[in-house]
Amino acid sequence: MPLRNPALFARIFNTPLMIGAAKLDAIIAGIGPRFGIDAPQPDLFLTASGEFRRPGYQLVGNVAVIDVFGILAHRGSFDANCNYILGYDWLSKKIDIAINDPDVQGLLLQMDSPGGEVAGAFELAQQIQAAGQVKPIKAVISSLAASAGYLIASAAQDIAIAETGLAGSIGVVMRHVDVSKMAADQGISITHIFAGAQKIDGHQFAALPDDVKAKFQAEIDGLYTLFVDTVAAHRGLDVAAIRAQEAGIYRGQDAIQAGLADRIATPDQVLAEMQQSFSSSPGGRYMTTQKPEAAADAAALEQSRAAGFEAGKQDGLKAGAEQERARISAILNHEAAEGRQTQAKVLALDTDMTVEQAAKVLAVSPKEAAPAAQGDQFSQYMAKQKNPSVGADGGDEQPETAAATQGWHAAMGKVVALRGDKR
């Protein structure tokens, strides 16, 4: 099976997926040994029709209806006639163009997806949440919004669900397949040539080792936490309550009870509500619901935040400067710097070493040689002599003073002789 299409194999096995487990089983069974997909586009549940605009949304009145149908993948989609596998990047383009379309006053996400790949799902959800601050975005679950499909729906400002619609499956799944027996039956022997102990972790030609399984489980647990936290933030739900669902799927009213949807409605009903709200706005255009005083409060809050940031920045710079001065002083005055002042200055002023690091370097460094005496021969000679104790001018010299004076004159005589002076 994987031997014939390893690229597609890698997209399905040994990689975290946010997709309903039953749908994953159906995919594996359906593609079988061919690893090819041939499925029709799901039927549209929206009876209203409008102008089709590239890259793939209908403009019905002043509402852009974007279909989120089929399995969701990171990049790329099948051609326009088949949305069985839909790329997050395509949905991103549709949303971005609709947000910037002057004829679009709001967006309606029509959901019918079992979920799909992890990569790209959270980024698209972030985009939808941000775009909802520009134009209203609502989601309607006409059939199914499971796993990554529900993550996308949860980013909308309002979620409606049909009475028979399904929502949930907030969880992460990974499948590993061992095809070693199949390969052996076909007379195929696999030899792995690789570098790096973890390079082939989870390969399909052997059973999954316990340590690799534990590593995969840790990855799944981390993604599950991110999934739960994101949905909780989008829907204003308690994290523990979502975890308690254990990735369950809820139908219609039960989904509302679980906090995964807001009301029962069909796509046509939601579309009509949105069109009515826009037509009742001044000039028939979408108007922001933010009141002037709210806008002023928001501006004041932003200004306050900016001022707080600048104050914090200045306090941080001041504290950093004080810490740097203390570091430099501590290095220069450290006991290990005695006799090594030149090197201590280099470590204090030209490096980012801590006091402890600099002290270790200084402790194993040789001390500097004492500077040579400066001056001429006279100065060098005098530096070696003891200065005599000379009394006040005109006073009587004591015996010890006289002896010192004689020594002084004798020394001067030698100096004169050394310098070759002639008197």
238 and 358 inside one domain: no
Is pLDDT larger for residue 19 or for residue 42? Answer: 19
Residue 302, pLDDT > 60, answer yes
Reply yes or no on whether the pLDDT at 30 is more than 80: no
Work out the average pLDDT over 399-420: 56
207/355 same-domain check: no
* Last residue in a domain, options 225, 258, 288: 288
Residue 298 lies in a domain: yes
Please tell me the predicted confidence (pLDDT) of residue 360. 86
Got the DSSP string for 60-77?
ETTEEEEEEEEEEESS--
**Region 230-245: what's the mean pLDDT?**
96
Provide the 3-class DSSP secondary structure of residue 403: helix
| CB neighbourhood size of 118 (10 A) | 24
Domain with 407 in it: 377-389+397-419
Per the model's pLDDT, the better-predicted residue between 20 and 362 turns out to be 362
pLDDT of residue 376: 56
Please indicate, yes or no, if residue 212 is contained in any of the structural domains: yes
* Structure confidence at residue 1 (pLDDT): 40
Residue 285, pLDDT > 50, answer no
Q: Are residues 19 and 125 in the same domain?
A: yes
* Mean pLDDT score across all residues of the chain: 77
**89 within domain boundaries:** yes
Question: Do 136 and 270 have their domain in common?
Answer: yes
Our count of domains for the chain comes to 3
- Say whether both 260 and 351 belong to one domain: no
Residue 23: pLDDT over 80: no
Kindly state whether residues 255 and 275 are assigned to the same domain: yes
Q: Is residue 238 domain-resident?
A: yes
So what's the pLDDT on residue 226? 95
pLDDT at 404: 52
DSSP string, 134-156: TS-EEEEEEEEEETHHHHHHHTS
In the predicted structure, residue 319 carries a pLDDT above the cut 90: no
How would residue 157 be classed by pLDDT, with cut points 50, 70 and 90? very high
Dihedral pair phi/psi, residue 253, rounded to 5°: -60, -35
The reported pLDDT for the residue numbered 353 is 86
One domain for residues 155 and 271: yes
- The pTM (predicted TM-score) of the whole model is 0.58
In a domain, 308, yes or no: yes
Q: Does residue 272 form part of some domain? A: yes
Give pLDDT, residue 38. Answer: 39
**pLDDT tens profile 328-373:** 999 999 988 888 888 888 888 888 889 888 888 888 788 887 665 5
Judged against a pLDDT cut of 60, whether residue 296 lies above it is answered with no
Same domain, 26 and 133: yes
pLDDT band of residue 37 (cuts 50, 70, 90) is: very low
Domain match, 327 and 415 both: no
Same domain, 161 and 105: yes
- The verdict on residue 41 lying in a domain is yes
CATH assignment of the domain containing 26: 3.90.226.10
Which band of pLDDT confidence, cut at 50, 70 and 90, is reported for residue 42? very low
More confident residue, 67 or 202: 67
Q: Are residue 263 and residue 325 in the same domain, yes or no? A: no
Is residue 232 in some structural domain? yes
Position 32 scores a pLDDT of 47
260, 288, 316 - which closes a domain: 288
Q: Rounded distance, CA 141 to CA 148, Å?
A: 13
**Of all helices (H) and strands (E), which one includes residue 387?**
none
What pLDDT score was predicted for residue 413? 60
| Residue 404 sits in the same domain as residue 356 | no
- For position 314, what pLDDT does the model report? 81
Domain-ending residue, one of 288, 306, 337: 288
